Amino acid sequence: MTTLSIRNLTKKYGHLTALEDFSLEISSGEFMVLLGPSGCGKTTVLRCIAGLTDITGGEIYIGGELMNKIPPKDRDVAMVFQNYSLYPHMNVYNNVAFPLKMRKVHKDKINESVHRIARLLNIDNLLERKPKEISGGQMQRVALGRALVREPKIFLMDEPLSNLDAKLRTEMRVEIKKIQEKVGITTLYITHDQAEAMSMADNVGIMDSGKLLQLDSPQKVYTEPANRFVASFIGVPPMNFIKFKIIKEGSLFLKLDDNSYQQDKRSIIKIPDTLAENLENITGDTIYLGIRPKDIILLKDDADFDGLILKGETAYVELLGDDSIAEVRLGDSSLKISNVTSGSVIPIVRKEATIGIKYDRIRLFTNSGESIHIKL
């Protein structure tokens, strides 16, 4: 069991800064996921840990030992990539056995290890087959087997499921998670798929443009996103944002920042006096209200509702089997609402829609995107 620690890692490719002051601590046996859009630097993090690329600054420790000057082959990390990179001319047995043969491990020990791993991964009936004679999911398992067979200290996975179809991807993510738990190996898994990250991670780090924006449990990044980027990256459909302005008329109020919207007193939020001091210094500024699609309720026109009430028009309703999503236009902006066909009010396209949002479901973000940690 081993810890992995990355401190103030910087990586430049010429003028391009791929990683900037990037720090991460992974405890022994943890399954950590790094999540971020394509090009944000995820693969670069893994390559730095494995020693496949020089680093510009910072330190990498595996099991407390500084790795900066240790060559890749002595770092004891295993990597699995998106394109399984199996040897096509070798059968499954020899593909899995390969790293042990390279290390001149005794034949009997190789045989025992390959069979143990093959049973763990449920590929023990495929050992004689060549890669072209097995499915994509099975190839992925063989690639995992080849990485695990030499019992590395750290397991690095670079979008290993991207080449699989949607159904297999969901099955394999559960399976990888189970295998990791069984083996107990410290793992850093990277993906651009938020559902994958949320379902697999003990802790998830969200990255953008070479920086780590938030590192927390999946639950926490969902309920308490540090900023608008994280808020909109996690959850499907993504969080809605509506532009408001803070105004002071005796007390502080939040008012929709949209000239085309017909204001009414139910669309104005009075800030409780106990919270006013948190917002006083940004009076006059734009502020974003973040609301999850599942937290918006369709109301009858004249409903009595304790919360923010807005009026708009339904633009479309999308039926997705288990879910149903409506888009409602409000002045210049629009909101997505999920699960709309299960409530008592059903939206009708091109007709007026009245929506309600409980105050405690609203998250506030500054104009520059930082979360404001107060609950209305």
Ligand X SMILES: Nc1ncnc2c1ncn2[C@@H]1O[C@H](COP(=O)(O)OP(=O)(O)O)[C@@H](O)[C@H]1O
What's the burial of 310, exposed, middle or buried (CB within 10 Å: 0-12/13-18/19+)? buried
Q: Rounded to an integer, what distance in angstroms lies between the CA atom of residue 194 and that of residue 187?
A: 17
DSSP-assigned letter for residue 345: S
According to CB under 5 A, which residues from 290 to 309 bind Mg ion? none
- Partner that binds at residue 320, options Mg ion, ligand X, none, CB closer than 5 to 8 Å by kind: none
Which among 43, 49, 37, 42 has a CA at the least distance from the CA of 6?
A: 49
C-beta separation of 186 from 26 below 8 A: yes
Shortest Å, Cβ 57 to ligand X: 16
* Binding partner at 44 among Mg ion, ligand X, none, C-beta below 5 to 8 Å by kind: ligand X
If binding means CB under 6 A, how many residues of this protein chain bind ligand X? Answer: 11
**At 38, which amino acid appears?**
S
In the complex with ligand X, which residue's Cβ is closer, 190 or 291? 190
Residue 250 and residue 353: Cα distance in Å, rounded? 32
Kindly state the smallest distance separating residue 182's Cβ from ligand X, in Å: 28
The type of residue at 25 is E
Nearer to Mg ion, 43 or 95 (CB): 43
Q: How far is the CB of 343 from ligand X (least distance, A)?
A: 39
Least Å distance, CB 36 to Mg ion, is 9
Closer Cβ to ligand X, 38 or 344, answer by number = 38
How many chain residues interact with Mg ion (CB under 5 A)?
1
How far apart are alpha carbons 35 and 234 in whole angstroms? 10
- Whole-number minimum distance, CB 10 to ligand X, in Å? 13
113 makes contact with ligand X (CB under 6 A): no
Can you say how many angstroms the Cα of residue 146 is from the centroid of all Cα atoms in its chain?
Answer: 27
Among positions 14-73, residues that touch ligand X (CB under 6 A) are 16, 18, 36, 38-44
Which residue in the set 5, 43, 267, 338 belongs to the binding site for Mg ion (CB under 5 A)? 43
- Span of 35-43, 216-224, 241-249, 258-266 interacting with Mg ion by CB under 5 A: 35-43
User: In the bound complex, what is the minimum distance in angstroms from residue 24's beta carbon to Mg ion?
Assistant: 16
Kindly state the greatest CA–CA separation across the chain: 83
Where does this chain touch ligand X (CB under 6 A) — which range of 12-20, 67-75, 85-93, 220-228? 12-20
**CB 51, min distance to Mg ion, A:** 17
CB of 11 to ligand X, least distance (A): 8
Instruction: Please choose, out of 43-51, 68-76, 164-172, 355-363, the segment that lies near Mg ion by the rule CB under 5 A.
Output: 43-51
Residue 18, contacted partner among Mg ion, ligand X, none, CB below 5-8 A by kind:
ligand X
Which of 226, 230, 232, 207 has its CA nearest to residue 20? Answer: 207
Residue 102 phi, psi (nearest 5): -60, -30
**For the chain, what percentages of helix, strand and coil (3-state, to nearest 5) are there?**
30, 35, 35
Pick between residue 157 and residue 353 the one whose CB is nearest to Mg ion.
157
- For 65, 140, 347, the CA distances from 176, given in Å and listed in that order, are 27, 10, 41
The single-letter DSSP state of residue 292 is -
d(CA 215, CA 217): 7
3-state secondary structure 3-44: CEEEEEEEEEECCEEEEEEEEEEECCCCEEEEECCCCCCHHH
Q: What does 166 bind: ligand X, Mg ion, none (CB cut-off 5 to 8 Å by kind)?
A: none
How far, rounded to the nearest angstrom, does the alpha carbon of residue 91 sit from its chain's CA centroid? 35
Q: Which residues bind Mg ion (CB under 5 A)?
A: 43
Q: Which residues bind ligand X (CB under 6 A)?
A: 13, 16, 18, 36, 38-44
